Structure 1
Amino acid sequence: MKNPCVAHRGFSGKAPENTLAAVRMALELPFVRWMEIDVQLSRDGVPVVIHDYTLDRTTNGHGKVREMNWEGIRRLDAGGWKGRAFRGEKVPSLDEVLALVSGKLRLNIELKTVNDMYPGLEQAVIDQVNARNMRDEVVLTSFDHGALQRIKALDPRFRTGLIYDSRSGDPVSKLQELQCSFLSIRFSRLNPLMASLLAEQGIQVMAWTVNKAREMRRLAAMHSDIMICTNRPDLWGDTFIGK
């Protein structure tokens, strides 16, 4: 059993991250089983797929995502920064991504929020996933403990995951406290002892962001269930399947 490959923000090594172009390129690789995306809310409450809290790095727009309506975000170019071939790519809505991947791969949907930055984000994401009958195809993850608690309060049937990036602390107890069965962790924070303990507890682990073959092999040697999240799913294929 090879460690599952997770395309980080789609095939973001070659296509502009969190765009439909990146999603489609990931879907072209048959060994990609999962994809990780980031979701925030526009000012008028539309769940949009974008990583940064501002539009500046990955679009030709400026300012905060939460301060622009969906119609304005939709008009931006989210691909030109990556290369001329991607000019005209748009910031997709969550619903567009769900429609594209439904029945094809599973999604790790990160809710990009801090405290009460996006009131209604959890409900909006839950509603769109349920509308497409995809609850069993997704895990909802976040750094924000409040967001994870709100998800469970709104619909306890959803699987949730904690994103963890600390050199200290006890992620296992925190996962239990938050009723999470999934841990998203920076790959450098993971060690064989932790990996074994998490596996014994039935916690699914995703290590991010792994873009070197030697790190992929090191993680695979820890445990066969560790999910490897990478900008370069093609490199995962070269490493575990061969050219």
Structure 2
Amino acid sequence: MRTKIVAGNWKLNKDKEGSKSLIKELKKAIQENPLQDTRVIVAPTFVNLSASVKAAKKSKIEVVAQNMHQAINGAYTGEVSADMLKAIGVATVILGHSERRTYFNETDAALAEKMNTVLEKEMEAIFCFGEVLEDRKSGNHFAVVESQLKNALFHLEGKDWSSIILAYEPVWAIGTGETASADQAQEMHAFIRSIIEKQYSTAVAEAVSILYGGSVKPSNAEEIFSKPDVDGGLIGGAALSVADFVGIINAI
């Protein structure tokens, strides 16, 4: 049985006190919820990670990073390394988010290097990928997704996939209020699992958790999460509201 995951990407939101307060409210809201096989994850900004890790102690909330550099150290002004993250208790990182690809020109080749560092440092990655609206309209969305996965991940060995969570994000449905239908999400998630099975094995494909990321809300979460190949969500705006985020968690 695959692990269910609800991950909140806070992006460039919340200062130190705001981050601690949101985690405190979230802890209180879910403390009576057994959650069973569900992981609850939040990703604050770099400067608030340490305080957030401390705030989340003795709770079911995991704190992860929104990005990291592939180098271990060196002349990379403004960047953060795997060792720096691990030193403050962060062992999971989001990689390849569409905003990183779009605004900071992250390439599949760079993401492949970051994945190598994740594995070298015995960390875990939430790897993001997905098509833009033009790809969807032209019917090229399957080819784009397959290319992103192959270029960044398919050099890895089957055993490495125990450290990978996938997050499919149709770029046209991020921050737009638009959402892929539950059937569209299932269709793509099933396709993703099929190409992993072809490259590796049924066991690897069936074990990896694939999250849907694209304007998930309490009102649509249950329908999306009910699909057999959707294992949870990478949540943006709704993760900044405790009521909305808990509503999505409860929909798993």
The TM-score bracket by the shorter chain reads 0.5 to 0.7
Q: Distance in 1 between matches of 2:249 and 2:84?
A: 38
After TM superposition, the structure 1 = structure 2 runs for residues 41-190 of structure 1, keeping only pairs within 5 Å, are 48=47, 92=48, 94-104=49-59, 105-111=61-67, 118-129=78-89, 138-143=91-96, 145=111, 146-153=113-120, 155=121, 157-166=122-131, 167=141, 168-170=144-146, 171-173=148-150, 174-177=152-155, 179-180=160-161, 181-186=164-169, 188=173
Check if 1:24 corresponds to 2:24. yes
Q: Distance in 2 between matches of 1:35 and 1:204?
A: 14
> Which residue of structure 1 aligns with residue 102 of structure 2?
none
- Taking only the aligned residue pairs, the percentage that are identical comes to 5
CA offset at residue 140 of structure 1?
Answer: 1.8
Select 1:204's aligned residue among 200, 203, 209: 209
- The SS at the match of 2:244 is helix
- The SS at the match of 2:29 is coil
Pairs aligned (count): 179
- TM-score computed with the length of structure 1 as normaliser: 0.56
Q: Distance in 2 between matches of 1:124 and 1:192?
A: 37
1:142–1:162 CA contact under 8 A, matched in 2:
yes
CA offsets per residue over residues 162-210 of structure 1, 9 Å max, x none? Answer: 1223342315434343545211232657621332343834222232353
- The SS at the match of 2:226 is helix
Q: Distance in 2 between matches of 1:126 and 1:103?
A: 18
> Which residue of structure 1 aligns with residue 189 of structure 2?
195
CA offset at residue 5 of structure 1?
Answer: 3.5
When residues 219 and 233 of structure 1 are mapped into structure 2, their CA distance, relative to the original with a 3 A threshold, is farther
Letter in 2 for 1:147: K
2:70–2:117 CA contact under 8 A, matched in 1:
no
1:108–1:139 CA contact under 8 A, matched in 2:
yes
CA offsets per residue over residues 40-75 of structure 1, 9 Å max, x none? Answer: 4xxxxxxx1xxxxxxxxxxxxxxxxxxxxxxxxxxx
Letter in 2 for 1:234: A
CA offset at residue 236 of structure 1?
Answer: 5.3
Q: Distance in 1 between matches of 2:130 and 2:77?
A: 20
RMSD after superposition: 3.9
- The SS at the match of 1:98 is helix
CA offsets per residue over residues 119-144 of structure 1, 9 Å max, x none? Answer: 55222112222xxxx6xxx4222115
More strand by share: 1
The runs of at least 4 consecutive aligned structure 1 residues that moved more than 6 Å come to 15-18
Show structure 2 runs of 5+ residues with no match. Answer: 97-109, 132-140, 174-179, 194-203
1:6–1:233 CA contact under 8 A, matched in 2:
no
Check if 1:35 corresponds to 2:41. yes
1:3–1:224 CA contact under 8 A, matched in 2:
no
CA offset at residue 20 of structure 1?
Answer: 1.3
CA offset at residue 112 of structure 1?
Answer: 5.6
> Which residue of structure 2 aligns with residue 215 of structure 1?
220
More helix by share: 2
Q: Distance in 1 between matches of 2:185 and 2:222?
A: 13
Letter in 2 for 1:195: H
Q: Distance in 2 between matches of 1:28 and 1:224?
A: 30
